[in-house]
Amino acid sequence: MNNIVSLKWLLARMYEPDIVIVDCRFLMGKPDAGRELYEASHIPGAVYMDLEKDLSAPVEEDGHGGRHPLPDIFDLTVALSRVGIGNESRVVAYDDQGGAMASRLWWLLKYLGHEQVYVLDEGFTAWVNAGFPVSSEQKVLIPAKFLAEVQHSMLAEMAEIQERLGDESLTLIDSREAPRYRGEVEPLDKVAGHIPGAINRFWKDGLSESGAWKDAASQADRFADLDRERELVVYCGSGVTATPNVIALQEAGFTKVRLYAGSWSDWISYEENPIAKGDEESPSKA
């Protein structure tokens, strides 16, 4: 599957009328930084969508739904329409965070039934370093009509995971860095550890040393020990950095891939949920 497009691909098509370029830059802990970066300089014609204001719902007091709950479908549809994304648009999302924020928009659009959405390889800094054009001018927004066809099969709910712990037909993939997965450190959430039975595949291992996405064969190598017939559920801390792993798994040819959107921060909001620490072995192929 082709979910990633190159800098040169976008350069050649950036002014085509059905292309909508979305700047998704966002810095955790600095909620205004992404928009400020966008206002200073962005790919010409790009619109801005904010991780927390546009691509997430407000955090619940009890923590249910996690640190970045999925946005309300109606609210998200309105936000997409407002920036000019319609059902016929080809959407290219970029960030400067290894593709994590752009992948969140990619996943949400796929979840709403929109197929023509891509993540820009390498990101904004690479675009600048290539000498490609930038602008501080903000595009005049012309709303578009966006009708959602929600793909519920892309989503895994907490209750199902709770019920299927230990189920050999389901593989949980934790996308966080290994020390967080093992429960040795936890800089963001109240409890350290991982969901029992989950294996660890750090999402940034899907990128090369230069920050480019690895090709399909290399992504397949990352997941070579996994059974393609098993259901896969991917999670991270709050449902954002799991989405690059969803893309990587699709690029590698896996078809039974779902996202646990609330992720670890949702899981630990239920006191009865068990917690594991240390490493876990990958499930052997059937």
Spatial distance between the Cα atoms of 195 and 173, rounded to a whole number of angstroms: 9
DSSP string, 248-269: HHHHTT---EEE-SSHHHHHTT
Domains 4-151 and 155-267 share a fold: yes
Task: Please identify which residue in the block is written with the tokens 């290399």.
Answer: 218
Q: Which two tokens stand for residue 91?
A: 């959407």
At position 185, the amino acid (one-letter code) is: V
The domain 4-151 belongs to what CATH superfamily? Rhodanese-like domain (3.40.250.10)
Q: How confident is the prediction along the chain (286 residues), in pLDDT tens digits per residue?
A: 589 999 999 999 999 999 999 999 999 889 999 999 999 999 999 999 999 999 999 999 999 999 999 999 999 999 999 999 999 999 999 999 999 999 999 999 999 999 999 999 999 999 999 999 999 999 899 999 999 999 999 999 999 999 999 999 999 999 999 999 999 999 999 999 999 999 999 999 999 999 999 999 999 999 999 999 999 999 999 999 999 999 999 999 999 999 999 999 999 999 999 999 999 977 755 4
DSSP string, 42-63: BSTT-EE--TTTTSSPPPPTT-
pLDDT at 188: 92
Q: Where are the domains of the chain?
A: 4-151, 155-267
Please say whether the beta carbons of 50 and 25 come within 8 A.
no
pLDDT at 282: 75
Q: Which two tokens stand for residue 22?
A: 């979305």
Please say whether the beta carbons of 146 and 81 come within 8 A.
yes
CA angle, residues 63, 104, 183, in degrees to nearest 5: 50
Spatial distance between the Cα atoms of 73 and 108, rounded to a whole number of angstroms: 10
pLDDT at 284: 56
pLDDT at 30: 94
Q: What is the CATH number of domain 155-267?
A: 3.40.250.10
Spatial distance between the Cα atoms of 69 and 209, rounded to a whole number of angstroms: 31
Spatial distance between the Cα atoms of 47 and 193, rounded to a whole number of angstroms: 37
- Closest by Cα among 39, 50, 43 to 80: 50
pLDDT at 281: 77
pLDDT at 272: 96
Residue 24 known to be catalytic: no
Q: How many other C-beta atoms are found inside a 10 Å radius of the C-beta of residue 141?
A: 11
The three-class DSSP label of residue 162 is helix
Give the chain's end-to-end CA distance (angstroms, integer).
25
The secondary structure element, H or E, covering residue 109 is helix 100-111
Spatial distance between the Cα atoms of 94 and 48, rounded to a whole number of angstroms: 10
The secondary structure element, H or E, covering residue 66 is none
Which of the following is catalytic: 51, 236, 240, 257?
Answer: 236
The secondary structure element, H or E, covering residue 231 is strand 231-235
pLDDT at 286: 46
pLDDT at 29: 87
Q: In sequence order, which ranges of 112-203 are alpha helices (DSSP H)?
A: 124-129, 158-163, 178-182
